[in-house]
Each structure stands twice: as C-alpha cells, then as structure tokens.
Amino acid sequence: MRARAGGGRGKKKVAVIFGTRPEAIKLAPVVLELRRTPGICTRVCVTAQHRSMLDQVLKDFALRPDTDLDLMRPDQTLAGLTAGALQALDAYLAREKPDLVLAQGDTTTVLCAALASFYRRVPFGHVEAGLRSGDLRAPWPEEANRVLATRIAALHFAPTAGARANLLAEGVPPASIFVTGNTVIDAMFLALRRIAGSRPAVPGLPESVLGGRLVLITGHRRENFGEGFESICRAVAALAARFPAVRFVYPVHLNPNVLAPVRRILGGPAGLSNVHLIEPLSYLPFVRLMQASTLILTDSGGVQEEAPSLGKPVLVMREVTERPEAVQAGTVRLVGSGKARIVAAVSKLLTDEAEFHKMARAHNPYGDGKSAGRIVRHCLRFLK
C-alpha cells in the first residue's frame, strides 16, 4: 500500500474510493470538482482492482491517488478480492477518518467501500445509484453489488428518473435520492476537449483505419465468459468476411477468459486482415476511436451511455440491461451474445441507411455534462 500525507484543517473530508477503469473515468470529474470546492478536503483511495487499466485513466485525467491499496493479484477469486478489499478499506477508513465516502457503480470495490463505511459509521454516497436489471445473475456479480450498496448508502446519486424510480420502489427515502445525470458524460466532454487539438494516436492501429467504416467492439462481462465469448468471436469473424471493406477493431480486455477465445478465433495466421485486435486503450484514444467508429458492438455499460452523445448506434451483447433509457430512446438495441442475432443486427445497420440514421440521431438520456457539479453541491448540503 502507498499513501501520501496531508490534510485540511477545518475542512470536511471526503474520501473517493475506486478501483477499476470505468470507476476512474466516472469519478474523475467528481474528484476534480471536489478539489475546486472551498471547504472540502478531498482524499482519493484506489484499490487497483484493475491495475494497468486503472493507471491509464489516472494518467489521462492527471489524478494522483493519496492512497493506493494495490490489491490486484494473479488469478484472484471474487471472494479473495472481497475479503482483501474489505480489510484494507476498513484499515484505511480508520486512519483517514473521512466525513463522507463516495464510490461509483457496481464493482466489488463499491460493495466493500459501502460495507467498510457502514462498519466505521461513516456516511456513504453512491454515485450512479438505482440501476437495476432485475436479475441477480445478469450482470453477475454487479447486480448484487449495487443492490447491497443501496441498502447501506446515505446519499443516492441517481443518473436518471428511471433509476430514482427503482430506488423508490425499494423503499429508499425520497429525500436521500438526487437525480444528477451520469458523470460519464462529464468525463467524455472533458476528453473531447482534450483531444480536439491533439488527435491522440490509437496504439496498435494505423491512422488510415480511422478514416473509413469501422465497427468498434468491446467485451468483458462475466456472464459472457465461455460459450458467450466463443459465439461473439464467431459472429465478428463472420461479419468481417461478409464486409471486407469494413474494419473491425477490438481493444481486447486483459482477462484470460476474454483473451483466450478472441486470440484463438480472431487472431493468429487464420485471422482476417480487416480484424484489428489491439491492447486495451487509455481513455483519450478510446474516445477518439468511438468518434471514428460507424457503430459499436459492446457489453459495456459506460459505452451505452457515452456513444449516443457521439451519434453512434450501440448494439449490446446482453439479454438484459440496467440502462433501459437508451433502449427506449432508440440509441441502443439488445442483441444478446448469439452469433445469428449479432450478425443480423450489425449487417442491418451496415446496409440499411434509414435504420442506421434512426439510431444515430436518437437523443442521449444520460446527461448534459454537469453531473459532477450537482453531486458535489448535494454533498456540501449534506455535510453542513
């Protein structure tokens, strides 16, 4: 564990805890807003649940953690990570003694931050509260993590009115729920301003690829491990063969359950020349890649929220989503992980201009880029 000393006399102390790449992206605007706010002493603690991908985002947003618990271990089980994170966060809170803890989303880090805060009698604020798929097995274990965190939280920062309705249906006191929008839109707008003049390179990808038709693929969900990823890879291979003029770009997640089928089916000597398997990207190049894409095939939650602001249709390789607003708005369509459905849906968007534009022009329901400011204002009122 690494920690930096320092404090703020007379100020209220807010500890922001995160551990994964998506959490870092979504909490970076909140941390930056807290640090600009008088009367607040901000502390950033990372569990490093995703070490290398987390570090990329910290660099992109120039964030330096005050405490790095460095919990990632090879072949770590969920139970092992949970036990280690809970113990480490309990010790951290005992030393730091914050007035409020903030965490975001639905990871193991969030669950442990909520539980450690409860044990230390520290109020816990949940950013991106109220998302529900209604199925504890999908996404797994994220749905359980966010449901359990809700029972502990004192402040619930719901991104949408639908998320607020979910919380009210579960008996959460209305006065503790605040609809703020999603901070991922804040992060993306920050990134767009950063890349507007610099045009960062996309490592592993020739610049010429960014100028033509491009399908961006991301995938990492545990419920797709095994046959799900096998089927996804076969679908991408079939699409690449059917559309040789289209580039299929896949920044491959580092989890072996993802890497193995992707490399076996899409890589190696038998790989198609228009399939580009690249390393996971830091946030700024990834935003540029989203900008350059024609459409996006994903199982990621954050991409479902970001891409509509860029006018990109999103096909989600899941059977359910805890983000129904984008489906209702027409920016997102669920296609599952089956080969036939994926191939049919992507082919439709690549060949039917009217269908493509109908999705590309739909409204983004997730925010206006001012969510972090709303969250910090509610935190200030609570702390006073």
List per-residue pLDDT tens for the chain, 384 residues long: 555 544 556 799 999 999 998 999 999 999 999 999 999 999 999 998 877 778 888 988 999 999 999 998 888 899 999 999 999 999 999 999 999 999 999 999 999 999 999 999 999 999 999 999 999 988 889 999 999 999 999 999 999 999 999 999 999 999 999 999 999 999 999 999 989 878 889 999 999 999 899 999 998 777 777 788 899 999 999 999 999 999 999 999 877 788 888 888 898 766 789 999 999 888 999 999 999 999 999 988 888 888 888 999 999 999 888 889 989 989 899 999 999 999 999 999 999 999 999 998 867 788 889 999 999 999 999 998
Decide if 190 is inside a domain. Answer: no
Decide if 285 is inside a domain. Answer: yes
φ, ψ (nearest 5 deg) of residue 94: -65, -40
Q: Do residue 245 and residue 339 come from a single domain?
A: yes
pLDDT at 256: 79
Catalytic residue among 43, 221, 253, 288: 253
In the sheet that holds 247-251, the strands lie side by side as 275-278, 247-251, 214-218, 295-298, 314-316, 332-334
Decide if 187 is inside a domain. Answer: no
Contact 292, 210 (CB under 8 A): yes
Catalytic residue among 128, 223, 299, 325: 128
Name the DSSP class of 364.
P
Decide if 161 is inside a domain. Answer: yes
Q: How far apart are CA 82 and CA 76, in angstroms?
A: 10
| Cα–Cα distances in angstroms (integers) from residue 92 to residues 15, 126, 299, in the given order | 10, 18, 33
Catalytic residue among 50, 156, 220, 247: 220
Catalytic residue among 106, 299, 305, 322: 106
Decide if 70 is inside a domain. Answer: yes
Q: Do residue 156 and residue 140 come from a single domain?
A: yes
The answer to whether residue 90 is catalytic is no
Q: Do residue 173 and residue 296 come from a single domain?
A: no
**22, 217, 225, 111 alpha-carbon torsion, rounded to 10°:** 10
Total structural domains in the chain? 2
Decide if 330 is inside a domain. Answer: yes
pLDDT at 224: 73
The answer to whether residue 106 is catalytic is yes
φ, ψ (nearest 5 deg) of residue 268: 75, -175
Q: Which domain holds residue 356?
A: 198-360
For the record, the structure tokens of 357 come out as 């534009």
pLDDT at 17: 98
Q: Do residue 240 and residue 261 come from a single domain?
A: yes
Q: Half-sphere exposure of 75 toward its Cβ, with a 13 Å CA cutoff?
A: 0
Catalytic residue among 126, 132, 146, 222: 222
DSSP of 273-336: TTEEEEPPPPHHHHHHHHHH-SEEEE--HHHHHHGGGGT--EEE-SS--S-HHHHHHTSEEE--
Burial of 189 (0-12, 13-18, 19+ CB in 10 A): middle
Decide if 193 is inside a domain. Answer: no
Q: Do residue 55 and residue 84 come from a single domain?
A: yes
Q: Which residue in the block uniquely carries the two structure tokens 């995938």?
A: 219
Residue 192 neighbours by CB distance under 10 Å:
17
Q: Do residue 95 and residue 202 come from a single domain?
A: no
The three-state DSSP-derived secondary structure of 56-83 is HHHHHCCCCCCEECCCCCCCCCHHHHHH
The answer to whether residue 220 is catalytic is yes
Q: How far apart are CA 23 and CA 63, in angstroms?
A: 13
Q: Do residue 40 and residue 168 come from a single domain?
A: yes
pLDDT at 269: 64
Residue 57 neighbours by CB distance under 10 Å:
25
The answer to whether residue 381 is catalytic is no
Decide if 188 is inside a domain. Answer: no
Q: Do residue 268 and residue 346 come from a single domain?
A: yes
Q: Do residue 62 and residue 86 come from a single domain?
A: yes
CATH number of the domain within which 249 lies: 3.40.50.2000
Q: Do residue 26 and residue 142 come from a single domain?
A: yes
Q: Do residue 236 and residue 176 come from a single domain?
A: no
Catalytic residue among 142, 186, 230, 305: 142
Q: Do residue 339 and residue 375 come from a single domain?
A: no
